[in-house]
Amino acid sequence: MSGSSLFATLGAAIQSFSSPSYSLKVPIPEAKTDPTVLAFESELASHLDQLNLSDETRYLRIQWLCQAMDMVLSTHSSTERMVSESHHPVSNVDGKSINTLLENSIKLLDTCVVLKTAVGEIKNYCGYLEIALRAVQKDPMSEIQVKRCMKALKKCMEVLNRKDDFVHHFGQRRSKLENCSSTLRRMGEKLNTEVNSIGNYPTAIYAAQVVTIFVCSLLSSAFSLKPKRSFSSVCAGGQSSWSFSLSRLQKQVKEQTDQKKSRGSIALLEELDMADIAVRDFHNLLEKRLHRNPSFEKVAQILKVKESVEVLQALLTDLQHGISTLEFQVESIYRNLLRSRMAFIDMHQGS
């Protein structure tokens, strides 16, 4: 996947419309019969449908989330290509709409910063789990090793129990990730209100904003710990094929997220949830081993410990590999958003 920006060349394209003979104020509806626009919409609908191939799809797995971010980056790349090849009437975007794009870009960048912090916390979790497993690698296992392992396991649990709350202006406590979800929901609502009232957003720019809001909102939910609020869908306006595909996908994602939340899981991210369950079970097992002395029981406990270590090692490997990929993808989206913001500033100055 190219690391090119959503609108890396948008600023240059805008300059071609900066002469007095072009107006940035008068909206001219984008031609829906434009074959390039239709091809873009069809490609985006296909990517969204591929993310929702079966009822068995697990939307809170790292692999699927990475595929969703690939879809966002692909949409950014297609949008950049359309703008650079002058298939988009970017000269029709008025000052108010550009201001909304600038405002949205800041909020999405802020969301990515919060997401990167959440990824960092998961990496800390992996670090403590690595220490715990290293402590019980040697045979025979001493009491000191067991206690060292249990201390590291407690650190794992503390990471997931840590409160990342702040008091917002209504005096209610809310995590930064949950606040991101609320911000993204309001952003989507405002974007659609402006599109419906003004109607001069080029399709690809609008679609890129919508799918980015959707995926960032989903990541905010996936990284949240014991979230109080349900996953917020973003409504895509219009009657295009991609908007219907997005609506279907969001419905399935919301149902699965609500089911996971109703089960009382601390972490919605599947790999992290599985690791958390195994960590707690392993901690309880080690606690029993410390307090039970009969020799036959100790043999049975040692076998269970070894089995648990193997399970946790496999879960840790999956989580470490997946979180590194997620970190790279979030950083790629952040860089694209940063560059697109510079293009929006060029648009604003040109208007």
Tokens representing 255 are: 């149902």
* pLDDT of 235 above 80: no
pLDDT, residue 109, reads 94
Total residues belonging to the chain: 351
The predicted model gives 70-77 an average pLDDT of 94
pLDDT, residue 42, reads 93
pLDDT, residue 29, reads 41
* pLDDT of 166 above 80: no
Q: Which amino acid is at 331?
A: E
* pLDDT of 171 above 80: no
The residues, any chain, with a CB within 8 Å of residue 249's CB and separated by 6 or more, are 48, 49, 51, 52
pLDDT tier, 296 (very low <50, low <70, confident <90, very high otherwise): very low
The residues, any chain, with a CB within 8 Å of residue 1's CB and separated by 6 or more, are 70, 73, 74, 77, 332
pLDDT, residue 232, reads 75
pLDDT per residue over 108-154, tens digit each? 999 999 999 999 999 999 999 999 999 988 877 788 998 999 999 99
pLDDT, residue 293, reads 55
> Which has the higher per-residue pLDDT, 350 or 277?
277
pLDDT, residue 167, reads 39
Highest mean predicted confidence (pLDDT) among 42-51, 293-302, 342-351: 42-51
pLDDT tier, 103 (very low <50, low <70, confident <90, very high otherwise): confident
Place of tokens 């789990």: 129
Q: Please give the distance of CA 128 from its chain centroid, rounded to a whole number.
A: 24
Q: Which amino acid is at 157?
A: M
pLDDT tier, 28 (very low <50, low <70, confident <90, very high otherwise): very low
Instruction: Tell me if 60 sits within 8 A of 257, measured CB to CB.
Output: yes
Highest mean predicted confidence (pLDDT) among 87-91, 178-182, 233-237: 178-182
Instruction: Tell me if 159 sits within 8 A of 124, measured CB to CB.
Output: yes
pLDDT tier, 94 (very low <50, low <70, confident <90, very high otherwise): low
pLDDT, residue 23, reads 27
* pLDDT of 78 above 70: yes
